[in-house]
Chain A
Amino acid sequence: QVQVVESGGGVVQPGRSLRLSCAASGFTFSSYPMHWVRRAPGKGLEWLAVILSDERKVFYADSVKGRFTISRDNSKNTLYLQMNNLRAEDAAVYYCVKEDDGFDIWGQGTMVTVSS
């Protein structure tokens, strides 16, 4: 069964850091670009970052560039999102997404709350 499962969300104070993980299974993880997408309460989907299959090429949305870092460990079939200097507006459900002709596989999401 092809699936991705996020973890690592929680409550964090403004200015602090958090690292999200995404465990992939059921497909050849190393062959596909992987993304992080979020949805804040009352808002729409927002694309955050993508890392290509070779682990080297990455792209970011302007809203997180310089604060968030996407990475992957193909030996562990795991995707990461390191989030630094978190702000109130970063509160959202964060989704890990596999790309194969579109965003074809989504996780259930992990919630991040930024609050003092």
Chain B
Amino acid sequence: QAGLTQPPSVSKDLRQTATLTCTGNSNNVGNEGAAWLQQHQGHPPKLLSYRNNNRPSGISERFSASRSGNTASLTITGLQPEDEGDYYCSAWDSTLSAWVFGGGTKLTVL
């Protein structure tokens, strides 16, 4: 099953802003939008946003999501050391009748 496309890695300086991207097609990201998850080593993933820019309670306002066409983005402002980790996007694919994930982006905070 075709997944979503994410850059494998992004590195940014402390307190800077990182924007992670996730590219799909009109059947998934472009249709119902994407959700974003964060995973730290040895821990389960945590939901950061759903349907583009809805944050679950307890998620910092430093995390904001958006979508333009078939590409979803997650912007993290004021980067902190604890933001290091793997970030995944996901979306329902209406043609495949399946959920698809991106390959993940490893974020490094320098």
Contacts and interface: CB of A to CB of B under 8 A. Distances in A.
Q: Do A and B assemble together?
A: yes
Interface of A: 35, 37, 39, 44-47, 50, 59-63, 95, 101-104, 106-109
5 contacts: A46-B101, A60-B98, A95-B44, A101-B56, A103-B47
> At the interface, is chain A mostly helix, strand, loop or mixed?
strand
A104 B97 contact: no
Contacts of B50: 101-102, 104
A109 B101 contact: no
Contact of B45 (A45, A60, A61, A62): A45
B8 to A, nearest CB: 10
B14 interface: no
A65 to B, nearest CB: 9
B98 A61 contact: yes
A59 B103 contact: no
A109 B99 contact: no
Identify which of B1, B44, B54, B102 gathers the most chain A CB atoms within 10 Å of its CB: B44
A108 B44 contact: yes
B98 A47 contact: yes
Q: Which of A35, A62, A102, A108 has the most CB of B within 10 A?
A: A102
A39 B88 CA distance: 12
A45 B104 contact: yes
Contacts of B98: 47, 59-62
